[in-house]
Amino acid sequence: MSTAEAASHLRENPFGLAKSQLRRVGEIFELDPNLIRVLSQCKKAVEVSIPVAKDDGSIEVYLGYRVTHNIARGPSKGGIRYHPDVTLDEVKSLAMWMTWKCALMNLPFGGAKGGVICDPKTLSASELERMTRRYTSEIINDIGPERDIPAPDVGTDGRVMAWIFDTYSMNKGHSVLGVVTGKPLSIGGSLGREEATARGALYCIQALSVKNGERLADYSVAIQGFGNVGANLARLLHLEGAKVVAVSDSRGAVYNPNGIDVPAAVAHKQERGTLLELANAEQLTNDELLELPCDILAPCGLEQVITEDNASRVQAKIICEGANGPVTPTADAVLEDKGVLILPDILANAGGVVVSYFEWVQGLQEYFWREEEVNAKLHDIVARAFQEAWQTKERRDTSLRMASYGLAVQRVAEATTTRGLYP
């Protein structure tokens, strides 16, 4: 037996950054320090051992987590990440950000997150299934449609959610549609869920373009990360007339200042498993992509890709955070001084949790909506949140990030105060 151990890609402790952000929000919005102390800690963190029989007969023992940050506004909600660099503090920070994201969107959820330290790309389908089912069994008493509802994140997808749904339901003796979101359509998934995170980012960019009196066709965009969020955002922006000049995956980036052929890039990635050697495009590194001249830079991969080391070289006018925490607070300050507008993660990539909420509601009702309804409702919620955050930004004379976080934290603080402390 061997144990998978994490070697984190993170340059700074993410939970420390999340708590630092919260303290700053508390100061700017003059919130009770006692409340900030309560909100700076996670309600529950579960660590589990996941022994898995490999196809060759050996046994690998993986380490998994499930963290609930806050349930003042409702059951907790958050994705499950399969990645070699997962750490407990990373999962805690993501759970806290989920709390603020749900509150900003005014959803009746708190924040949670899960993770397993593994590289899913090295596992066979049967190994991945066995690991997922064992992980689900280990956290089964901590999840549920009225308790904590998982969803996909980095390294997981609808297939993984189907295994979680089935494992939970088999143990309960009946199908429990609301236990997990991001499921395939055939077992209670929602239309529009797969591209929801990217569509929410698109709606934020559209709202900003209206504020600026510009059109999407006026924008050049560089997108780092070509998973679910990055690929769908590239496709949607391309359909709206924006010029996508660069895209990247974990192996590297491709660049064409006159515009990437996005449908060809999607097909190339599906066929070859990489974006490299895409026709009519120059090869770059992921780091070089971040520093390209463009109107919008959309980091859609992992956290902390823009730091104080490279922030001064970022040439984009707008950063749309498709990923969670891609810009560190020190980089934030540098970018703010340069006049770069940041569409923060809890606003820009909240489309996924909004449609996850829709899927949860549809599962509880066992009544499902048309895709046009899903997208229209998503637009209403994201557009309203953008307007509320923008008005707070102008009223408080602060950044859009601080305005978004301030609105969210105030809502959670109010719920906490209203409910009171037990006992």
Buried b (16+ CB within 10 A) or exposed e, 268-292: bbeeeeebbebeebeebebebbbbb
Per-residue pLDDT at 9: 60
My answer on whether 171 and 220 are in the same domain is no
395 in any annotated domain: no
Residue 65, classed as helix, strand or coil, is strand
My answer on whether 287 and 169 are in the same domain is no
282 in any annotated domain: yes
Beta strands 44-53 and 59-68: pairing type? antiparallel
104 in any annotated domain: yes
Per-residue pLDDT at 313: 97
Specify the DSSP element, H or E, that contains 92: helix 88-104
Beta strands in 33-165 (DSSP E): 44-53, 59-68, 76-83, 110-117, 148-152
My answer on whether 276 and 413 are in the same domain is no
Final residue in a domain of this structure, among 348, 367, 391: 348
My answer on whether 168 and 259 are in the same domain is no
Per-residue pLDDT at 97: 95
- Kindly compute the dihedral angle of the four CA atoms of residues 390, 392, 395, 398, in this order, to the nearest 10 degrees: -80
Per-residue pLDDT at 303: 87
* Cis peptide, bond prior to residue 423, ω within 30 of zero: yes
Task: State the catalytic residue, choosing from 19, 92, 113, 183.
Answer: 113
Q: At what angle do helices 14-28 and 88-104 cross, to 10 degrees?
A: 30
Per-residue pLDDT at 12: 85
**Has 113 been annotated as catalytic?**
yes
Q: What is the pTM of this model?
A: 0.94
16 in any annotated domain: no
**211 with 390: CB under 8 angstroms?**
yes
**Structure token digits, residue 268:** 């190339």
My answer on whether 143 and 244 are in the same domain is no
375 in any annotated domain: no
Specify the DSSP element, H or E, that contains 352: helix 351-365
370 in any annotated domain: no
Final residue in a domain of this structure, among 348, 374, 394: 348
CB atoms within 10 A of CB 379: 18
My answer on whether 157 and 206 are in the same domain is no
Q: What is the CATH number of the domain that holds 168?
A: 3.40.50.10860
**179 with 163: CB under 8 angstroms?**
no
Buried b (16+ CB within 10 A) or exposed e, 217-245: eebbbbbbbbbbbbbbbbbbbbeeebbbb
Q: What is the CATH number of the domain that holds 233?
A: 3.40.50.720
User: How would you write the pLDDT of the chain (423 residues) with one tens digit per residue?
Assistant: 333 333 456 678 999 999 999 999 999 999 999 999 999 999 999 999 999 999 999 999 999 999 999 999 999 999 999 999 999 999 999 999 999 999 999 999 999 999 999 999 999 999 999 999 999 999 999 999 999 999 999 899 999 999 999 999 999 999 999 999 999 999 999 999 999 999 999 999 999 999 999 999 999 999 999 999 999 999 999 999 999 999 999 899 999 999 999 999 999 999 999 999 999 999 999 999 999 999 999 999 888 999 999 999 999 999 999 999 999 999 999 999 999 999 999 999 999 999 999 999 999 999 999 999 999 999 999 999 999 999 999 999 999 999 999 999 999 999 999 999 998
My answer on whether 342 and 234 are in the same domain is yes
Per-residue pLDDT at 107: 98
Rounded distance between C-alpha atoms, residue 390 and residue 104, angstroms: 12
Rounded distance between C-alpha atoms, residue 381 and residue 352, angstroms: 12
**326 with 347: CB under 8 angstroms?**
no
Final residue in a domain of this structure, among 348, 371, 390: 348
My answer on whether 248 and 283 are in the same domain is yes
My answer on whether 236 and 125 are in the same domain is no
Per-residue pLDDT at 8: 52
What is the tally of structural domains in the chain?
2
38 in any annotated domain: no
15 in any annotated domain: no
My answer on whether 342 and 205 are in the same domain is yes
**275 with 251: CB under 8 angstroms?**
yes
232: containing domain: 196-348
My answer on whether 201 and 152 are in the same domain is no
My answer on whether 240 and 332 are in the same domain is yes
